[in-house]
Amino acid sequence: MSSISIDEVARVAALARIALTEEEIERFSGELAVIADAVATVSEVATPDIPATSHPIPLANVMRDDEVTDCLDPEEFLSQAPASEDGKFLVPQILGEDV
């Protein structure tokens, strides 16, 4: 069984700028040790002859094939915009930056 000390939990919490009480540090030390043991168990089972999986059920790509189609004429969609300039939509400035 791996052991994660309360000093390690306190140090990681300090690095992450997470304020923990002494009770939380002790509780998380035990919980993290259980998690570390579970990861170690999985690592023992994972061998080169067992393929890695990200999902228990095989998934297939459900997206359609890309097909090249005709695009709209830029003048056509710009003609319906309230304002355009240099082949682009013209919108009001919102950030107060210099143009």
- Given a cut of 80, whether residue 53 has pLDDT beyond it is no
For 9, residues 6+ apart whose C-beta sits below 8 A from its C-beta are 20, 25, 28, 29, 32
14, part of any domain: yes
- Given a cut of 70, whether residue 98 has pLDDT beyond it is no
pTM: 0.46
Per the model's pLDDT, the better-predicted residue between 92 and 13 turns out to be 13
pLDDT digits (tens, 9 = 90+) for 11-37: 999 999 999 999 999 999 999 999 999
Instruction: Count structural domains, the chain.
Output: 1
- Give the CATH number, domain containing residue 33: 1.10.20
Strand partners, 88: 85
Question: How sure is the predictor about 2, in pLDDT bands with cuts at 50, 70 and 90?
Answer: low
Q: What is the pLDDT of residue 92?
A: 86
Q: Which domain holds residue 36?
A: 6-45
Amino acid at 5: S
